[in-house]
Amino acid sequence: MSNNMGNNSESRISGGEMLRSRQAGVIMPVFSLPSAHGIGTLGKAAFEFIDFLAAAGQKLWQVLPLNPTGFGDSPYASCSVFAGNPYFIDFDALIEVGLLKKSEVNAVDFGKDKNRIDYEKLYLGRGNLLKKAFKRANKEDDGFIEFTVKNAEWLDDYALFMALKTHFSMKPWQAWEDAGARLHRPSVLKKYGSKLQTEIEFHKYLQYLFYSQWEKVKTYANSRGIGIIGDMPIYCALDSVDCWANINKFQLDKDGRPKLVAGVPPDAFNEDGQLWGNPLYDWKRMKRDGYAWWMRRLEQAADMFDIIRIDHFRALEGYWAVPAEAGGAEYGHWENGPGLDFVLAIKKRFPGCGFIAEDLGYLTEDVHELRRASGFLGMKVLEFAFDPSGKSDYLPHKYDKDCVCYTGTHDNDPLGVHLGNISKEERAFIRSYLGTTASDTGALTATVLRAGLASTASVFVSQMQDWLKADASSRINTPGTSENNWQWRVNKSALSGRLASKMRALTELYDR
């Protein structure tokens, strides 16, 4: 299995073309798929979900980042922007090829609640099973060797980083006791490469398993006419191989500590702003080699996905930079991003890939101009649309076709929950705007879904929970919190043929 996933498949889809025709799709995290092993995986349920989407007339499946999860179990705070999440490796597939025994898997406690993920039990149980599979694996397998060679540029550093993390008791790399390892000195790393060889090979093998399984899922989706939208976080985590192995690409001092960190300024939703703490890129230095690190990252994403959603697109025009020692986001200031030079480099390098710009938040005319110049589709969010003043840019009658209409994102409540919590004034405005007498939340939800499907937006994307009439416990993430996020799982029975037929009828009614 190579890093050029799907490029030789006759079923590969052109994401750019999909974004220019009327399409509909859903957001559904891989981790939310049904599974007997504590978390959604790249196994049977992923293929069944693709079949469900096809039956429902949906042409797009938007997933959240597939990288290993980090602080707060978030896929947006990963130890690597290149690696795949080992939690998504399907055990049934490993049983089929003799790497695991069914009795071994069944003996592990993955958690009792089928509707929630217990990450602590996953951490304790999955690691031991994967090590058993690794011990039984044929390390001389041609596929594994080919994978390690073709992906060496990121895989070697990643596997060594993970082995070193284990060696140094999982401490952040800035706290490793060996300065040579901490500062990525080649002579020291060579020593650890020999000492930790087995652990290094273990992490490489997990990546081989992940990418082998993902390639099968992606190829099957494309064969059913389903394009995959992948979500690309704009920033890296500080405690990541990306920063450790590329100190000079970030605004870090010689010891790997950030000078400035990311966030967003105070606004109407948060008077203190948000302090994310991610290290910022040294865009001037990155420009010198043609943004080589970013091009490698995007190349991998373009192989994995048909369409890439670039998170926090506005940072490419200008980003909020907060002194690392500051106590809050309000102490930050604006700095120029790479702008059109970077965007044009992307367009030239990846002409067939589709891109969505997550152009939410504090936007200026310069940001709008950059998005228009990029040709990327922007986002319109219906949950933000129905301000009783009628001034929102997210009202459907203000759309042009070059946008993606979302009910909400993974950071929002499901549509029905949102509509159940709005003010009387907002509810009255929705009823007036949509010309409905619907009074109960369920009927209002159905009406808003119809409005999104009927809109002129090229693409309409809903959360799977919107169709399932799921309650507040199904919310994927609440920004500004670090607990009870990224945990929701769907019941297999909920993805019924009846629901698929209902979704297809509405999707086809509005020519999507």
Would you give the distance in Å from CA 327 to the centre of its chain? Answer: 28
Residue holding tokens 């090590």? Answer: 131
Residue 255 catalytic?
A: no
Spatial distance between the Cα atoms of 467 and 484, rounded to a whole number of angstroms: 22
How many CB atoms within 10 Å of residue 283? 20
The active-site residue, picked from 157, 215, 306, 311, is 311
Amino acid at 362: Y
The active-site residue, picked from 358, 359, 383, 413, is 358
Residues 6+ apart with CB under 8 A from 265: 273, 320, 329, 330, 332, 362
DSSP annotation of 331: G
Query: Tokens at residue 291, please?
Result: 């943004």
Spatial distance between the Cα atoms of 335 and 319, rounded to a whole number of angstroms: 5
Residue holding tokens 């604006």? Answer: 334
Residue 311 catalytic?
A: yes
- Give the three-state DSSP class for 396: helix
Spatial distance between the Cα atoms of 288 and 328, rounded to a whole number of angstroms: 32
Under 8 Å between Cβ of 436 and 410? no
Residue 411 catalytic?
A: yes
Under 8 Å between Cβ of 357 and 377? yes
Q: Is 335 left (phi over 0), alpha (psi -120 to 50) or beta?
A: beta
Residues 6+ apart with CB under 8 A from 219: 6, 9, 11
Spatial distance between the Cα atoms of 360 and 404, rounded to a whole number of angstroms: 12
Residues annotated as catalytic (active site), given as ranges:
311, 358, 411
